[in-house]
Amino acid sequence: MGDKSHFSPEPFLEAGMACVSANYRFVNGDSVLSPEPLRDGARVVQTLRHRAKDWNLDPGRIAITGYSAGAVVAMWVAYSDDLAHPESKDAVARESSRVTCIVPLDGPTNLHPDWIRDHLGGPTRVHDSFTAMFGAPADGPMSTEIEERIRASSPWELVSPDDPATLLVYSGTRTGLPFPESAPPHEVIHHPYFGDALKRRLDEHGIESALYEDIDPARSSLIVEFLLNQFGMRD
C-alpha cells in the first residue's frame, strides 16, 4: 500500500546521486499475486538503463532500497538471476536487471510461514498480507502452487555467489524472541532476526554484507556512506 511519491530524496541528491521512487502493482489475492509486483521492481531497473542516456544516469551504478515490502522488492530483484531477455522485441526487457548493491530496510527475508513461526514465533496467521500476496492464508495446509509461489517470492531462496553487496538495516533490536502468539504481526515481520539469518546465508556465499539494528534510516548517514563507497564516489 502507499504512494511512493512521498519518498524524500534530499540526502541522496546532496551526495551527488540521482533518485527514482517507483510505484508498483499491489497484490490483491486474485488477479495480482506475488511475485508479479516484484517483477515490476526489476522493470524499474531495466527502464532506468534504457533511459540512462536521456536522463543522464550511470547504468553501471544502480542501487535499490525500500522499506518492508519495498525491502522484499529490492532483495528479490538483486538476488534473482538477470531478467534480461536479449531477443525480446521490447527494448526495455532487453536491458539487464542486475544492480550494484541494495539497502533493504526492516525487510522480511524468508517469506515461508513455517520458517517464520519456527524461528520467530508470533501469530498463527503470520500477517494478513499473505492472503493478498499468495492467494491463500498462511495458517493452514497449502497447495503445491502456493508453496511454489512463496518460494519464488522469497529472497532467501534466491541467494547465489554472484549477488550484489547488501546493507541490511533494521529499526528494532535482536531481542524478544520467540514472539508470543498475541504479538502484532508488523513487529514479527520487521524483526532483525530476518537480517541476521540472511547475513549468515550471504556470508556462506561470499557476498559482501553488513547488518545494523536499532537504526532510524531517516536520521542516519549510514546508507549514504554505504552507497558512496559502493559507487566509488569517494575522493
Q: Domains, the chain, ranges and CATH?
A: 16-230 (3.40.50.1820)
Q: How confident is the model at residue 134 (pLDDT cuts 50, 70, 90)?
A: very high
Count how many Cα atoms sit within 13 Å of the Cα of residue 54 in the half-sphere of its side chain: 5
Share of the chain above pLDDT 70, in %: 100
Residue 43: the pLDDT is 98
pLDDT of residue 235: 64
Q: What's the average model confidence in pLDDT over 47-69? A: 97
- The pTM (predicted TM-score) of the whole model is 0.96
Over residues 142-160, the mean pLDDT reads 94
Query: What residues form DSSP beta bridges with 65?
Result: 103
Average pLDDT over residues 24-29: 94
Q: What is the pLDDT of residue 217?
A: 86
Q: Does the N-terminal peptide bond of residue 178 adopt cis geometry, omega within 30 degrees of 0? A: yes
E strand residue ranges, the chain: 63-67, 101-105, 165-169, 209-212
- pLDDT of the residue at 128: 85
Q: Residue 1: what pLDDT?
A: 81
- Whether the pLDDT of residue 140 is over 80: the answer is no
When the pLDDT of each residue in the chain is averaged and rounded to a whole number, the result is: 95
Residues with Cβ within 8 Å of residue 176, at least 6 apart in sequence: 191
Query: What is the rounded CA–CA span in Å between residue 62 and residue 116?
Result: 31
Amino acid sitting at position 200: R
Position 3 scores a pLDDT of 87
